[in-house]
Amino acid sequence: MTKPIFLTLQRGERLVCLRLGLPHLALALSFAVLAVGIAWPQQDADQQDTNQIKWRIAALQSELEKLVSQNGMTGELLHTRLAEALNRLKKLDAQETALTSLESSEHRLRDLDQRITRVERQHLRRLQDLSDARASKSRQIEGALQMAGIQLSPAPSEATTAQGGPFIPLSEAFSGPFAHEWTRAEPLLARHAMLSAALPNLPLRAPLLGPMDVSSGFGARMDPFHGRAAWHTGIDLRQDKGADVLSAAAGTVTIVGWNGAYGLMVDIDHGNGLVTRYAHLSRALVNEGDVVKPQATLGRSGATGRTTGAHLHYELRINGEPVDPTRLLKAGQSIASLLNSASQIGDPAQ
Ligand SMILES: [Zn+2]
């Protein structure tokens, strides 16, 4: 910015040698003009010196104009370069901000990915555990029912009104290992759901509380009254008069009343051709048409009808034919814990 200026007032003799900037140069020019104003009358006689001073002032003014011009150009250039530098700095700031944001987003995405993967693994493990547990229960139930001679098949699905749309299997909504596991688990879960829904309506529960005391079994026996061979269509359970008689399964009460040798009796229809009968009651506590839960109290034990003493005659019919109810009662004992959970979860009569 500061340029060396040599002021020479007399030819060949350098009087002043200074580094002057614009302010200095302006000051020098003012001083020269003032000096001329003061000295002019005193040097009127010396026209040559006056001319020399005028020439030096003109030269100095030219120098000043030149310097002003150069300084102006330099300032403009500096201003332009400064503006460019500031603009580049702004761009650098923007780049830094964008990179920081990207790095932060990348970090968050990576963290999110890891969390999703972790939850996916948990879901997969839960599905595997659930399907394995239910498959095990299903095998237990089916084994017990097969020993009792009962074969369950899936009930036909009931038509549902006012619904529609394309059928999309649920497995298609999943992906990866979970979809694969879901495909494996789906039939196991469906089988378990069918069995659980069926259990409350199967006469697997004892019709009396406490240990079962069978005084006469199902099938051929000697008639207790006249001692001749006879066919016993149920089992007799020894029980004092007045004990609670319980429904062996959920169902609908179809008969309440007196019926010859059966005395006062109750019939329950459990669906799928299964009917249980409770006879020789002293009292009935339900009405025809009642919907009852498993182990609902139906009446009180007694000795009505053709009996030799107080007991409960318990009978099971499948499609109208009497069968030995003890097979189902034994099956019920082997899956007692599952019956309790099934009555809580899938009892349609509740
Ligand atoms: Zn009997």
Strands 311-318 and 321-323: antiparallel
Q: How far is the CA of 278 from the centre of ligand 1 (A)?
A: 10
Q: How far is the CA of 328 from the centre of ligand 1 (A)?
A: 17
| pLDDT for the residue 324 | 94
Contacting residues for 186 by C-beta, under 8 A, at least 6 apart: 170, 171
Q: How far is the CA of 313 from the centre of ligand 1 (A)?
A: 4
| pLDDT for the residue 13 | 42
Q: How far is the CA of 245 from the centre of ligand 1 (A)?
A: 15
Q: How far is the CA of 215 from the centre of ligand 1 (A)?
A: 9
pTM exceeds 0.75, yes or no: no
| pLDDT for the residue 346 | 38
| pLDDT for the residue 348 | 36
What's the fold here for domain 214-345?
Answer: Glucose Permease (Domain IIA) (2.70.70)
| pLDDT for the residue 26 | 57
**For every one of its 350 residues, what pLDDT tens digit does the chain have, with 9 covering 90 and above?**
444 444 444 444 444 444 445 555 555 555 555 555 555 555 566 677 778 877 887 887 787 777 767 766 666 777 787 788 888 888 988 999 999 999 999 999 999 999 989 999 999 999 999 999 999 999 988 888 888 888 776 655 544 456 677 776 666 677 888 888 898 999 999 999 998 888 899 999 999 999 889 999 998 887 776 767 788 999 999 999 999 999 999 999 999 999 999 999 999 999 989 999 999 999 999 999 999 999 999 999 999 998 889 999 999 999 999 999 999 999 998 888 777 765 543 333 32
| pLDDT for the residue 68 | 66
Delimiting residues of CATH 2.70.70.10 domain(s) in the chain: 214-345
Number of alpha helices (DSSP H) and beta strands (DSSP E) in the chain: 5, 15
> Nearest Cα to 63, choosing from 14, 16, 28?
28
> Nearest Cα to 138, choosing from 87, 204, 196, 222?
196
> Alpha-carbon distance 348 to 350, whole Å?
6
> Alpha-carbon distance 321 to 235, whole Å?
14
Q: How far is the CA of 45 from the centre of ligand 1 (A)?
A: 167
